[in-house]
């Protein structure tokens, strides 16, 4: 649960203008283009900007502010940004991060809400609790200012990391599509990511042009985490072999997302609703094995979302091969999460919960 927000309206003595180098930086045009395009943010909309104090979120906030003031002057802004800093009270530097965001917003005349959350007080996984608390706080801020969207600063390296993790976990097109430009966050509120094609170094370059310092979260580079290990040991190699690989990953993710949408339409025709648990074997047997595996995964994830990392293509492929072969004897395949795929002469079904022993069991 988040504490009530502290809202500050920045008008004491009037705001400073962003330096010319920042106003003319390519990031301003990129953010404006993405807002009006794939993020589908209408001109004139109030936009909540999640600002941690890192270079990416500060760059996003100030680029939105610059884009807003560029069009028609102060009387006709394109967007109405409201900065929101969520203090998680996890790191010793949390207070300093908050103070930095306050100073930047004060300098450039930006409205700011500060919300306090306490994920350490909740049981379970700390990063997951922090993420959930943060998005709850951002959604609450959006409701408080009647904003229909929340913008966050996931950038190109974040996207590449997400896709590499999906490749390692074997999550198929769902994971390889990466993070989307826009997705629902809460009822009537969208989460948008206008920086997905922007490199982190561009965000840092923009912050220098805007003459603002930023804070660094050391946990982001912690090699004990998956992302931290990728940043330390993998992304540098990628950039050596394929310069600008991170920025190119965004385009690949868009293509995969389109393929995923096309596949989902086919799966809906053959497998029906994701909650369906029984299908005609002959109908599935006429499909490519990869499509059958995707349909089975879709149903399994609907039944037990927590098994995503354990339900790889090797597990799914065994059932898909059984569906396609000519054997008529019944076979079963025990999956994680208490699921079982059963293939008989005429049907395929997904069973949930405790099972009676069957012969043979795979």
Do 183 and 326 share a domain, yes or no?
Answer: no
Do 208 and 284 share a domain, yes or no?
Answer: no
User: Can you say whether the dihedral through the CA atoms of 199, 204, 209, 212 is positive or negative?
Assistant: positive
pLDDT value, residue 8: 56
Strands (E) across 247-346 are located at 278-280, 331-335, 339-343
Q: Is residue 110 part of a domain?
A: yes
Q: Is residue 257 part of a domain?
A: no
pLDDT value, residue 7: 59
pLDDT value, residue 73: 45
Do 210 and 281 share a domain, yes or no?
Answer: no
| 9 has pLDDT over 60 | no
Do 33 and 144 share a domain, yes or no?
Answer: yes
The residue range of the domain holding 65 is 6-160+177-219
Q: Is residue 154 part of a domain?
A: yes
pLDDT in tens, 17-39: 999 999 999 999 999 999 989 99
CATH number of the CATH domain containing 308? 3.30.465
pLDDT value, residue 173: 87
Distance from C-alpha of 180 to C-alpha of 253, rounded to nearest angstrom:
8
pLDDT value, residue 313: 82
| Residues 251-260, mean pLDDT to the nearest whole number | 94
pLDDT value, residue 15: 66
Least trusted range by pLDDT, from 5-9, 118-122, 283-287: 5-9
Do 215 and 344 share a domain, yes or no?
Answer: no
pLDDT value, residue 87: 97
Do 295 and 209 share a domain, yes or no?
Answer: no
Do 284 and 214 share a domain, yes or no?
Answer: no
Do 184 and 297 share a domain, yes or no?
Answer: no
| 98 has pLDDT over 60 | yes
* Residue 49 per-residue DSSP state: E
Distance from C-alpha of 200 to C-alpha of 155, rounded to nearest angstrom:
6
Do 195 and 47 share a domain, yes or no?
Answer: yes
Distance from C-alpha of 264 to C-alpha of 302, rounded to nearest angstrom:
14
| 250 has pLDDT over 50 | yes
Q: How many domains does the chain have?
A: 2
CB 284 within 8 A of CB 291: no
Contacts of 335 (CB under 8 A, 6+ apart): 300, 307, 311, 315, 341
Do 53 and 195 share a domain, yes or no?
Answer: yes
pLDDT in tens, 40-88: 998 889 999 999 999 999 999 999 999 987 655 443 457 899 999 999 9
Q: Is residue 194 part of a domain?
A: yes
Q: Is residue 144 part of a domain?
A: yes
Q: Is residue 255 part of a domain?
A: no
| 318 has pLDDT over 90 | yes
Q: Is residue 292 part of a domain?
A: yes
Q: Is residue 92 part of a domain?
A: yes
């Amino acid at each position: 649960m988040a504490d009530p927000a502290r809202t500050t309206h920045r008008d004491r003595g009037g705001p400073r203008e962003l330096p010319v180098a920042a106003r003319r930086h390519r990031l301003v045009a990129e953010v404006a283009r993405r807002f009006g395009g794939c993020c589908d943010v209408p001109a004139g909309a109030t936009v909540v900007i999640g600002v941690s104090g890192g270079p990416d979120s500060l760059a996003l906030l100030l680029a939105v502010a610059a884009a807003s003031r560029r069009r028609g002057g102060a009387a006709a802004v394109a967007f109405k940004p409201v900065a929101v800093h969520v203090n998680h009270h996890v790191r010793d530097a949390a207070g300093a991060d908050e103070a930095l965001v306050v100073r930047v917003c004060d300098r450039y005349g930006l409205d700011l809400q500060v919300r306090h959350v306490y994920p350490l007080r909740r049981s379970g996984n700390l990063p997951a609790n922090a993420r959930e608390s943060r998005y709850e706080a951002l959604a609450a801020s959006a409701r408080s200012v009647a904003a229909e969207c929340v913008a966050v600063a996931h950038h190109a390296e974040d996207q590449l990391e997400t896709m590499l993790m999906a490749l390692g976990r074997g999550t198929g097109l769902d994971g390889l599509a990466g993070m989307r430009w826009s997705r629902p966050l809460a009822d009537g509120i969208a989460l948008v990511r206008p920086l997905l094609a922007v490199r982190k170094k561009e965000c840092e370059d923009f912050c220098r042009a805007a003459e603002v310092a930023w804070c660094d979260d050391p946990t982001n580079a912690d090699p004990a985490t998956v992302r931290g290990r990728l940043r330390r040991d993998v992304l540098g190699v990628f950039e050596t072999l394929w310069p600008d690989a991170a920025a190119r990953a965004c385009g690949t993710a868009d293509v995969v997302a389109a393929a995923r949408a096309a596949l989902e339409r086919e799966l809906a025709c053959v497998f029906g609703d994701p909650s369906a648990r029984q299908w005609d074997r002959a109908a599935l047997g006429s499909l490519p094995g990869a499509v059958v595996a995707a349909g089975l995964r879709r149903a399994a994830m609907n039944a037990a979302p927590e098994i995503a990392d354990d339900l790889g293509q090797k597990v799914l492929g065994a059932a898909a091969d059984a569906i396609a072969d000519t054997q008529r004897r019944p076979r079963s395949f025990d999956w994680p999460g208490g699921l079982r795929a059963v293939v008989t002469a005429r049907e395929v079904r997904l069973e949930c919960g405790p099972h009676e022993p069957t012969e043979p069991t795979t």
